[in-house]
Amino acid sequence: MRFIFKYFPLFIAGVLSGTGTQFLATPSNGFELAIGANAIQKYSINPATHFVYGPAPTMGISYGSWLADSKISAIKVSFPGQKTSFGFDLKYVDLDDLELRSERPTDDPLATFGASGFSLGGSFSKEWLGMYIGAALRYVRIDLYTENSRGLAVDIGMTRNISHRIKVGTSILNFGKMSSLRNEKPELPLRFITTANYTYEIDQLVNDIAITGEWSNLINGNTFYVSTVSKWKGISFCLSSKLAESVTEISGGLGLQFGMYRLNYGIRFGSQNLGMPQMIDLTIQLP
């Protein structure tokens, strides 16, 4: 068993501080894990980047592990359009083998249980006045022991080309509210993210260098990311670093494009000593 909660009220208090709804801030695929927070790259956390060109819809399936050995599963389907694209996504995060114990030490716990987070929603992205805008609406539910909380979360974002090499993007994520959990309401992880990206080419190698700043209501201070994505033919290499108060993380990943399939893998090394998050995803162009 990985965790022991001696007092159920203390456990609920931890959830209300954000550990329950924080699953919304975890990556949804291997590419997102590899580049960190980014409001520019295709299929990133910014809904404005989800615009799809092409004759057919695409479907992405992701699976991986997060901190404390929690498991993440996600599905995303995108439908192309000439000026507007639509999509829907599902995400499920599960943490098992939690123990509930009383104040008095005992050999056996009062109960064993799991905690989970679930979100289901739809999104759109649109080309408008020389930029791309997007929004997403999600139903959110967290389950903890015998308690649960439900709510709605909204994401909005935009990207714009300043020149043929420089692009900027910004997004506001998880704006909304949750229902009461033990007479109190869990707080959604509200995030403001801004990214500046510079693109340059060396022969057939295309490189993106991005700097991202993030503010969140669940983190003390600001967080900064520096990431690079290098693409050569059907291969991409990703590397990013995260700098925050008392936390340093390095992420990396590899992407392979072969025909109508794309495979991404991401891994993160952090200073918290709570595990090594890894994710893999497969995107398929549907017939």
CATH code of residue 170? 2.40.160.40
Q: Please report, rounded to a whole number, the percentage of residues in the chain having pLDDT higher than 70.
A: 86
Count: domains in the chain: 1
Task: State the pLDDT at residue 155.
Answer: 97
Could you list the residue range(s) of the whole structural domain that residue 106 is in? 3-285
Q: Report pLDDT digits (tens) over 135-182.
A: 999 999 998 877 889 999 999 999 999 999 999 999 999 999 999 877
Task: State the pLDDT at residue 10.
Answer: 38
Read off the pLDDT band of 11 (50, 70, 90): very low
Tokens of 94: 């599960």
Q: Three-state secondary structure along 72-111?
A: EEEEEEEECCCCEEEEEEEEEEEEEEEEECCCCCCCCCCE
Residue 17 clears pLDDT 70, i.e. is over it? no
Give the torsion through C-alpha atoms of 94, 95, 97, 100, to 10 deg.
-110
CA distance 140 to 134: 19
Read off the pLDDT band of 241 (50, 70, 90): very high
Mean pLDDT in residue range 219-233:
90
Q: Which of 46-50, 62-66, 114-118, 165-169 has the lowest mean pLDDT?
A: 114-118
Mean pLDDT in residue range 239-252:
88
